Structure 1
Amino acid sequence: MDYQKEALRKHREWAGKIEIKTRAPLDTAEALALAYTPGVAAPCLEIEKNPDLSFTYTRRWNTVAVITNGTAILGLGDIGPVAGMPVMEGKAALFKAFGDVDAIPLCVNSKDVDEFVHIVAALQGSFGGVNLEDIKAPECFYIEEKLKKLCDIPIFHDDQHGTAVVTLAALINATKFVGKKIPDLKIVMNGAGAAAVAICKLLLSYGCRNITLLDRHGAIYAGRDNLNDVKKQMAEVTNLEHVAGDLQTVIKNADVFIGVSAPHVLTPEMVRSMNRDAIVFACANPIPEIMPDLALQAGAAVVATGRSDFPNQINNVLAFPGIFRGALDVRAKEINEAMKLKAAEALAALVTDAELKADYILPQAFDHRVTEKVAEACKQAAIDSGINRV
């Protein structure tokens, strides 16, 4: 199939991947009076007295905003917010199909981060959560941090945290399969953008101790030139031995490679220089850092990619529908680190020890158990953290 040609045909046919349907009957004068004026005044006045009742009297409790400024749309880069609309609609469709979450795509025509923050914060009363989507680094870090301070609903940048949750789940099971322990792993991460930083932070929270990040200039370490503020922060908690050099140098004797970077940057020779039973997560899309067959031939024990046509797909759809489902069900004020860690553990646990294989370390995207189990874990973590409203 020519996916590009067929996708254009189908998008023209669909004329949009989502739509709005009414839940209230509007087939009689009485029904109209209840759903709209004069009856609608009653819930308005109750919400005026207690804004939290908006979660009771409106669909806010189950509605998420999927918001972008179009600066990092998939692998296409800065193509603008309007051109990003098909992706935002697609993400909204995934929310509904996998988590029964109503999601509204919003494309904000502004690269001014403070203006973007102001717009999103001003809209928060319409939503139970915000999913930031396809916003380039380092601006995405600033936007998320500011919104978390201004909003009392979950602010979640899926490119960061959804990716991180699924990556951690994959690593838990890959490590179990090869018989190594999380704290003992030497991990090399190629890429230092939004996803890489979030993955690194979550792995550190889970107990990984030895992580080295690389950007296009090589290994990141404290005191190195050409570091933005985010990279400087990461340099304080990673690569504590201040190892310098390129990927070929740093990857020697590593246990794990995690790539969120560019095609073909990892060679078979580099894989052969890693420790025995190496784990390779080559997640650049659509072309990974190394093709799976080459990595396996070079001695990797477990290989994962971001693609659906290879085993072990690290796919955000395994995480974000369940995370938001759980957060919305308890009306959480945020999605915190504990929720992300529990989501990763729940996802990993869906592959039993008996099922665990080199080419099966994560459940499939269409496994009906995924959203339910991830949601349950997130709900309980939110309650345990005291950030739930119900």
Structure 2
Amino acid sequence: YNLTIKQNTVAIVTDGSAVLGLGNLGPEAALPVMEGKAMLFKEFAGIDAFPICLNTQDTEEIIRTVQNIAPVFGGVNLEDISAPRCFEIEARLRETLDIPIFHDDQHGTAIVSLAALINALKIVKKSLAKVCIVINGAGAAGVAIARLLRQAGAENIIMCDSKGILSKDRTDMNPEKLEFAVAKGGTLADAIAGADVFLGVSAPGVLTRSMVQSMAENPIVFAMANPIPEIQPELIMEDAAIIATGRSDYPNQINNVLAFPGIFRGALDCKASTITTSMYLGAAYAIASLVSPEQLDKEHIIPSVFDERVAIAVADAVQLAARAEGIARD
């Protein structure tokens, strides 16, 4: 760590199987996306990140390749690998390597979503433990959001995929989906009636205005599909108390760049051996805390992606959690 590039270098590893908004494009087409990611690491956290686009979509080969190149890097950022393969790849690498492994599509999205939701709930004066949350999309991001919200204290989560509510009577579900299966099935419209929060990490246009109107009083709608959200914000301005998207041309952009640079900065600075849920929670609360009570309103529930305090605050929270858990080596 002291004498080589390991102290400040992250590998951005993809197989190009789930490029945001574009799907399975393969390694060559994924390369410019990973290069962009490397620029964000440098700009926001001063980290030297290197794009590594693998010409295989075989789970075992990806795991073996990352294990073999790991000695050079202080951490690995997995990116744009399709679900459910991404869950196994991340879990196996965490078991076998002693550097932080972070799948950004899962945990970066979950951290920033939780941060925004913490502040949105303050505005509508509802508690995380009591609200009914509907998550549409049960891929990498949806499952990670659900897991982190549970850890943060959410008790009532209904998850939907393209076939409707994840229910115990369905036979087409992977273990990650089964984790969130409920007793009663139905459509997204059934799930959302009376719900307080909609979190979409799914597909364009799947949410209708009438669905939003069927929600509880002061509904919160995070339509985060990119580049086209689950519903256009203009359609529900009068119906939703708070609206967020993944886009930069609307207020309340839920953007992973608020999380991953600071996460890795903190992990590298304390030479963390892994990344844990308490680090995610610390990061989410740190991001949320940067919106002061005076600034907090329905169009300002999350800091700007250009707010230079964010990466520092996240890095500090990550280090604090790492030391508390005894996984910091410095």
Report if the CA contact (8 A) 1:165-1:341 is conserved: yes
Report if the CA contact (8 A) 2:168-2:184 is conserved: no
Q: Residue 338 in 1 paired to residue 275 in 2?
A: no
Q: Residue 105 in 1 paired to residue 51 in 2?
A: yes
Q: Give the Cα separation in 1 of the matches to 2:133 and 2:189.
A: 14
Q: Give the Cα separation in 2 of the matches to 1:255 and 1:74.
A: 27
**DSSP-derived class of the 1:183 partner:** coil
Which residue in the other structure is 1:313 paired with? 253
In the alignment of these two chains, the number of paired residues is 330
Which of 64, 69, 72 aligns to 1:118? It is 64
Structure with higher Rg: it is 1
Q: Residue 158 in 1 paired to residue 104 in 2?
A: yes
Q: Give the Cα separation in 2 of the matches to 1:168 and 1:310.
A: 19
Q: Give the Cα separation in 2 of the matches to 1:262 and 1:132.
A: 22
Which residue in the other structure is 1:181 paired with? 127
Report if the CA contact (8 A) 1:252-1:273 is conserved: yes
Highest relative contact order (Cα 8 Å, sep 6+), 1 or 2?
2
Q: 1:119-140 CA deviation, whole Å, 9 max, x = no partner?
A: 0011110000000000000110
Task: Map 1:1-390 to 2 at 5 A.
Answer: 55-235=1-181, 239=182, 242-297=183-238, 299-390=239-330
Report if the CA contact (8 A) 1:128-1:328 is conserved: yes
Letter in 2 for 1:273: S
Q: Give the Cα separation in 2 of the matches to 1:330 and 1:89.
A: 26
TM-score by length of 2: 0.99
Report if the CA contact (8 A) 2:19-2:80 is conserved: yes
**DSSP-derived class of the 1:353 partner:** coil
Letter in 1 for 2:126: K
For structure 1, list consecutive stretches of 5 or more residues without a partner in the other structure.
Answer: 1-54
Q: 1:125-171 CA deviation, whole Å, 9 max, x = no partner?
A: 00000000000001100100110011000000000000000000000
Which residue in the other structure is 1:5 paired with? none
Q: Give the Cα separation in 2 of the matches to 1:206 and 1:380.
A: 17
Q: Give the Cα separation in 2 of the matches to 1:66 and 1:384.
A: 27
Shift of 1:256: 0.1
TM-score by length of 1: 0.84
For structure 2, list consecutive stretches of 5 or more residues without a partner in the other structure.
Answer: none
Q: 1:183-212 CA deviation, whole Å, 9 max, x = no partner?
A: 001000111000000000000000000001
Report if the CA contact (8 A) 2:158-2:180 is conserved: no
| Percent pairwise identity | 55
Letter in 1 for 2:246: G
Report if the CA contact (8 A) 1:173-1:361 is conserved: yes
Q: Give the Cα separation in 2 of the matches to 1:222 and 1:337.
A: 27
Report if the CA contact (8 A) 2:279-2:322 is conserved: yes
Q: Give the Cα separation in 2 of the matches to 1:293 and 1:353.
A: 26
Aligned CA RMSD, in angstroms, stands at 0.8
Shift of 1:223: 3.4
